[in-house]
Amino acid sequence: MFDPSKIPIPAELAPYTFPKVLSKRIGEWRECGTLDEILALKDGLSKDLAMYRRFTADGKQWARLMVIFGKSFVDLEILPSGNIGEVRPVPPEQAVPDAFLRKFTFPSKSVQALQSWKDHDTFDNLQVMYDGPFRSSYGFVRRFHEGTREFARMVEPPDPRFVDIEILPNGKMGEIRPVPPLEAFDETERRGWLQSHLDQLKK
C-alpha cells in the first residue's frame, strides 16, 4: 500500500519546486475561460502543464496539475463556475511522493502503439515476434481472469509501468488497459522491485 511518508526526500529539492514563471503564466490565463477550456487550448497552459488529479479539500474543489517535463506540481482551486480560483504551488517536500508515483503511469503513446497491433496476430505470437511490440520493450508479469475474461499483465521497463491486455477467445488482443499508478506501485512492491526505485531518490 502506497504510504507517502515512506518515500525518501531527496537532498536536492530544486526539481520539485514549482517554477515562478509558470505561476505567472497561470495568472495570465485565468481569465480566458474555465480550467478545462484553458487546458484544451493547444497554445495554452497545456504546453507546460497536465492534469494529475482532482480532489476536495477545505470544502473546495481542486485540481493538481503537473509540469509535463518536470517533477513539480501546482494546486488550482476550481470555482463553481469552473474558472481558476486560488493558486497554490505544491511545496517540494509534498511534491516528491506524487513525482515518484509518476514513474508508475503507463503512457498513452504506448497504449496507442499496442492498439496498432491488435489485428496483426495473436498475443502469444506477438510476444515472440522479432520486430513485434513486445520483444524488446516489455516483460511478461502474469495472466489472470476477471470473470470469463482473460488478461495478461505486462511491464514496460525501466520504470515499473504496467498494462493489462485482454486476450480474446481467438487469441488476439482486446481491451488494452493501463494499470493505475497506485495499483502499479503495489504490484512493484509485491515483486520486490520497489527498493531499487526508492534508492534512486536518495542519490
Q: What is the pLDDT of residues 25-62, one digit of tens each?
A: 999 888 888 998 888 887 777 888 888 889 999 899 99
193 phi/psi in degrees, rounded to 5: -100, -5
Instruction: Say yes or no to pLDDT of 203 above 60.
Output: no
Which residue in this structure is represented by grid cell 529539492?
A: 13
Against a cut of 0.85, is the pTM above it? no
Quick: pLDDT tens for 128-182.
Answer: 888 888 877 788 899 999 999 999 999 988 778 899 999 999 999 999 999 988 8
Q: Please tell me the predicted confidence (pLDDT) of residue 90.
A: 95
Quick: pLDDT tens for 105-133.
Answer: 888 888 888 999 999 999 999 998 888 88
Binned at pLDDT 50, 70 and 90, residue 80 comes out as: very high
d(CA 186, CA 175): 22
- Give the type of residue at 192: G
| Of 44, 121, 140, 119, nearest in space to 84 by CA | 44
Binned at pLDDT 50, 70 and 90, residue 201 comes out as: low
